[in-house]
Homo-oligomer: A and B are copies of this chain.
Amino acid sequence: MSKKPARAGRRTEALTKAQIVEAAIAILDSEGVAALTFRTLSTRLATGSGAIYWHIANKEELLGAATDHIVAAAMDAAKVPNRKPREAIRAIATAVFDAFDAHPWIGGQLSLAPGRTGMLQVFEAIGGRLVALGVPAKDRFDVWSALVNYIFGVAAQNADNARRAEEGRTREDMLGTLAEAWGQLDASQFPFLHEVAVQLPGHDDREQFLAGIDLILDGALERRP
């Protein structure tokens, strides 16, 4: 027997990057982004904080890998092969939107480091449907770029709103407050916002997100070679 008793939960096999990323996601989901530190993470993994650095370069890589894990899982869950192209694009966009909304700690960790296979899958899936949809070859790169940037950009902004709502009022409260503020804006200086204020509380963020996808696709299909 060694002097120290074996610690409960001490692993017997080597850590893996996947284990670390999954533990990080568990902390992020249950306690939020502020709770993810190398100390809480190493405690949960029953190891020393320095051990994590053997597998992961730094916190940015950790958050990036966690984000890509969520994206890849969302793509796996969104079964799209048998759908018509436009429906497939809408299904992929919805999957990303819902995944970000369910894991609102996802922020600006959307870069394309090597090994970000989840994002690559989304990129390819969207691009492939544009060919099937009949978007002219000369427009394809721009349409694809607009779509993937829109999807990830808007989903990330929505997630950030959800995160802020979590730590305070509900989303309905926030929209109500915003509608009231815009309704009190000077109608001669802000006629549009003054008018659109009434539509804020009732609207569905997800539906509006998908309406934007349709606008881009409609614009793309109007183009002829």
Residues of A within 8 A of B (CB): 107-108, 110-112, 114, 120, 123-124, 127-128, 130-131, 140-146, 149-150, 152-154, 156-157, 160-161, 164, 178, 181, 185, 189-193, 196, 199, 203, 208-209, 211-212, 214-220, 222-223
Bound complex: CA A124 to CA B152 (Å): 24
Q: Which 9 A-B pairs have the closest CB atoms?
A: A153-B153, A127-B192, A146-B212, A219-B219, A218-B219, A215-B219, A142-B211, A149-B154, A215-B216
Query: A146 to chain B: which residues have CB within 8 Å?
Result: 150, 208, 211-212, 215-216
Q: Which residue of B lies closest to A217 (CB)?
A: B219
**Given A141-B199, A145-B208, 20 extra CB contacts under 8 A:** A107-B108, A111-B160, A111-B161, A124-B190, A124-B192, A124-B193, A130-B192, A140-B196, A141-B208, A142-B212, A146-B211, A149-B150, A149-B153, A149-B209, A150-B153, A214-B219, A215-B219, A215-B220, A216-B216, A218-B218
When all copies of this chain in the complex are counted, the total is 2
What is the minimal beta-carbon distance from A101 to any residue of chain B, in angstroms?
14
Query: A222 to chain B: which residues have CB within 8 Å?
Result: 218-219, 222
